[in-house]
Structure 1
């Protein structure tokens, strides 16, 4: 952890956590206003493929940014819909108002809101919030827990077991480029079970000890920083496909423990 974050007072950490929960509450309300409602439309942010954005994405980020402007005006902000805002504190809030907009449009319940606080070393605290399911996963500043309909529980990643017994999640069957997809298949062909379409919920399930691996490519900083904070707090490992830091996005290998991470990393690299 960078010196800046290591020297934060207890009161400042408490304020950062309280602010993150306030952001998640606001985004939960904003996204549920439009979820499964008739007539919800989406624009595409790209022309080559369908990359949807809805009024709910924009509304949720606007409400989170308004809270930050009031409570933490000295901090920088990086959001998927409205880009970067400079700050003076050395801390940056990284926001994804709806991770899984395709799922949101389809009425599936596992899309989420991603909120994290980062310093120059990467994310130090994060939330993965599932508004419709009403589960919230929290990691950083000594905490690793989830709160939802079944109560509050500590987060702890799975212990090591053979790769042949592992469960692997990813959002898209066609992972990345042709070469990246071939590398992904080398791992997928060795595990017991592969499931797709999870978006950020896959990372939450890894932190909760339900699965062993999440492997993806082509991600952005706002896709990965909250999951990194939550998974690392729960004892997991998150790197790129070469074993380096991945908080700026790109290729991501999230693993429940160092043993399964090492096995998957070796296969990804042939």
Structure 2
């Protein structure tokens, strides 16, 4: 593995040590959304991001950082770390072990290393130049996406169908009605399962750059494809992403989205 991949794994331990002690405790939460909406943040989110930023600044002070909780530092640097300290905060405060720590390294605007860590289960997924792997305890296992002959045989996932607005909701419904089975509520963990060959399609909208930047390198390193709904690299402005385990599924899904 490259030095940056090794460091990304070290950051996964940092995030785990800062966030896991708060899980299934009476950790306080704040609703940072506008009245009538719910977008929670907890001390676990903030503690994990503070710890990650300190570790990055100590090792690579010239690198940039973009984080969900504490904003941007040197975001135009060649190397930028993108942090979602706890993806799936709703799952976290509900005691469900489907939240993850997301860590990404972006080089010249493109995410090239992605880490998805689930400390309670004890899993860390990483994708980058050295390939895609699952670390569980002392075990390091290569992971690959699986082949899927047709959408009718696929398992699809999204976090919450209610997030899709307007025509986007109809696009999800068409996909859901085409595939063999749809699953909900897994947040970023669904992409880890896609990279590990258990899920075939993940479709989402309304994502921020810290929600998807770690997922793109993981899915691609495992043999899948990751794009926006237009088939191009996702953008900060759009927030609609598609991940497929078998790249042959990309065009059939994109065609469904455009009907």
Superimposed CA distance per residue, residues 197-256 of structure 1 (whole angstroms, 9 cap, x where no aligned partner): 000100000000001000000001100011101000001011111111115361011001
The Cα of 1:150 is off from its aligned counterpart by: 8.9
Q: Could you tell me how far apart the structure 2 residues matched to 1:254 and 1:14 are?
A: 25
Q: How does 1:61-80 map to 2 (within 5 A)?
A: 61-80=49-68
Question: Is contact 2:143–2:197 with CA below 8 Å preserved after alignment?
Answer: yes
Q: How many aligned positions are there?
A: 257
* The one of 91, 98, 103 aligned to 1:110: 98
The Cα of 1:89 is off from its aligned counterpart by: 4.7
Superimposed CA distance per residue, residues 52-87 of structure 1 (whole angstroms, 9 cap, x where no aligned partner): 000000000000000011101000000000011006
Q: Could you tell me how far apart the structure 2 residues matched to 1:238 and 1:217 are?
A: 13
Q: Which runs of 4+ in 1 moved over 4 A?
A: none
Q: TM-score, normalised by structure 2?
A: 0.95
* The one of 31, 44, 54 aligned to 1:44: 31
* The one of 154, 165, 170 aligned to 1:182: 170
Q: Could you tell me how far apart the structure 2 residues matched to 1:41 and 1:180 are?
A: 34
Where 1:218 maps in the other structure, the secondary structure is: coil
The Cα of 1:88 is off from its aligned counterpart by: 7.2
Question: Is contact 1:236–1:256 with CA below 8 Å preserved after alignment?
Answer: yes
Gapped regions of structure 1 (runs ≥ 5): 1-12
The Cα of 1:160 is off from its aligned counterpart by: 2.8
Q: TM-score, normalised by structure 1?
A: 0.91
The Cα of 1:175 is off from its aligned counterpart by: 3.4
Greater alpha carbon shift after TM alignment, 73-82 vs 86-95: 86-95
Q: Does 1:101 align with 2:89?
A: yes
Superimposed CA distance per residue, residues 137-175 of structure 1 (whole angstroms, 9 cap, x where no aligned partner): 011112211011593221111113111110001100213
Question: Is contact 2:132–2:144 with CA below 8 Å preserved after alignment?
Answer: yes
Where 1:219 maps in the other structure, the secondary structure is: coil
* The one of 132, 136, 144 aligned to 2:120: 132
Q: Could you tell me how far apart the structure 2 residues matched to 1:184 and 1:59 are?
A: 35
